[in-house]
Chain A
């Protein structure tokens, strides 16, 4: 199993329209697309929603990273197809494809958020949303540790494989049991790291002053308002479509004849 797809959630500094947007506008993008994906369970509308994300991905010059993140989840797609076609008799395959599209939209939207939001800006944007600094900082710290955890997971896999651990086992029960040698060390080392980080922060007087100041503050500019307005309009339109779904043309409700 390659954890390379996790790199598609790691912030990369670039000078693009998307990167320069306020983190709150990008959070709104992730939320809007998640809600939109949950509104439908048909292939065509979900495909259209996914297509509307493409220009944003291209503007952010993130196409390769996006492909990697979507490709990295292919094991999940296979799992969805197998389970749906086995257990849902009517239109199982269509439903499975729709679910894959739904997950792809959500992953893409959050991948865009993580790829373009600097962890420091994320903490600042949360503070402007009246979230206490301690929580905002913890959240941005967790976000920053995603690539570290990916590396650590790979090390754990390597260490276990070196004593004969096999990644692929037959049967669902065996596969679940097979996760323990990976999950336990990962959880234990994550907890230990959390304690170490907490101690390191406290030894540098973290939380000493309640009314702290910041090196710089973020502001919602005109382009952020325009982008947010576009997202709100898009979401309103999609809700309208959902409510009037039966009035939509037949092709819009198309599914595979299986």
Chain B
């Protein structure tokens, strides 16, 4: 959870963004993100989630308002400079892969940091090992599967060691094994003090693992708070065109047969604990 005394890492102050065709993508968005937070941004398609994360590294400059990174206004900074601190991993990995080999693909990201050759090679070896892509080192990125391409795109950002990682739909099209790998990666990065923001439609993943959720709708933030309180608020969830998590629906079914589960129980481990305790007290449900 957020430490009240710490200084915001990203401070978004009353930003608007209007596309050239007149579409209002963001309207009066204000947001504070602190170091080490793990945040999910959710909402229906067209809510402004992707536009918002594109403002984090300067790809989109707000038409009104300001964005501060570590207390500094990013308005005058180039994307290349901001990208050293904010790494954005896009939804479609095919939008960035172009090299002949996986090794070259990673090297491209590092060369832009002006590192020397030895240092680049060490980092390439390290990241390929970390992502279990070593065996494909000399393979063309275009011969990888969808999940592996996503891994490579993530690796090519993570090797730059940015303080803030921003993922756009990281679990989309991923199988269970790949989602578990992503989860391990996130946990590792959080332990290293990184800040992680992700745009997602994956309700179950968010409920299980993400402490803070921001709901967006019509270019505005409609709710921002602990995931637990957001996903127990049926009004907010239906307003965002989302559905309630499976465990919440399960709780409702239990209620029908006379078992009242506390409101704050929303995660798998919590419901398991509750049921264990309940069954210890009663012989049958």
Contact = CB atoms under 8 A, between A and B. Distances in A.
Interface string A149-179: 0001001101111111110000000000000
Contact of B59 (A4, A7, A162): A162
**By DSSP majority rule, is chain A's interface helix, strand, loop, or mixed?**
helix
Contacts of B109: 163-164
Contacts of B108: 163, 165, 181
Given A155-B90, A159-B96, A164 B80 contact: yes
Given A155-B90, A158-B90, A166 B98 contact: no
A69 to B, nearest CB: 14
B80 A184 contact: no
Contacts of A4: 20
B171 to A, nearest CB: 18
Interface string A177-190: 00011011100110
A192 interface: yes
Contact of A189 (B84, B94, B112, B157): B94
A159 B112 contact: no
Nearest to B99: A184
Interface in B40-96: 54, 57, 59, 78-80, 83-84, 87-90, 92, 94-96
Interface residues of A, number: 22
B160 A163 contact: yes
A7 B21 CA distance: 10
A156 B97 CA distance: 9
Contact of B112 (A158, A165, A180, A183): A165
Contact of B157 (A162, A165, A166, A185): A162
Contacts of A162: 57, 59, 79, 83, 87-90, 96, 157
A152 B98 contact: no
Given A158-B59, A161-B79, A161-B80, A166 B94 contact: no
A163 B156 contact: yes
A185 B113 contact: no
A160 B163 CA distance: 18
Interface in A174-228: 180-181, 183-185, 188-189, 192
B142 interface: yes
Contacts of B57: 161-162
A163 B87 contact: yes
A133 B78 CA distance: 49
B261 to A, nearest CB: 43
Contact of B80 (A156, A166, A188): A166
Contacts of A181: 96, 98, 108
Contact of B95 (A7, A166, A183, A189): A189
A236 to B, nearest CB: 41
Contacts of A188: 94, 97-98, 142
Contacts of A184: 97-98
A158 B157 CA distance: 13
Q: Which of B54, B59, B96, B153 has the most CB of A within 10 A?
A: B96
Contacts of A158: 54, 59, 88, 90, 95
Most buried by B among A160, A161, A181, A188: A161
Interface string A2-41: 0010010000000000000000000000000000000000
Given A4-B20, A181-B108, A164 B160 contact: yes
A160 B83 contact: no
Contacts of B92: 155, 159, 189
B94 A192 contact: yes
Contacts of B59: 158, 161-162
Given A161-B80, A163-B83, A163-B87, A156 B160 contact: no
Nearest to B111: A164
Interface of A: 4, 7, 152, 155-156, 158-166, 180-181, 183-185, 188-189, 192
- Pairs A-B, 4 closest by C-beta atoms: A164-B112, A184-B98, A159-B96, A163-B109
Given A152-B95, A163-B109, 18 more contacts: A155-B92, A156-B95, A156-B96, A159-B95, A159-B153, A161-B79, A162-B59, A162-B79, A162-B157, A163-B87, A163-B96, A163-B157, A165-B108, A184-B98, A188-B94, A188-B97, A189-B94, A189-B95
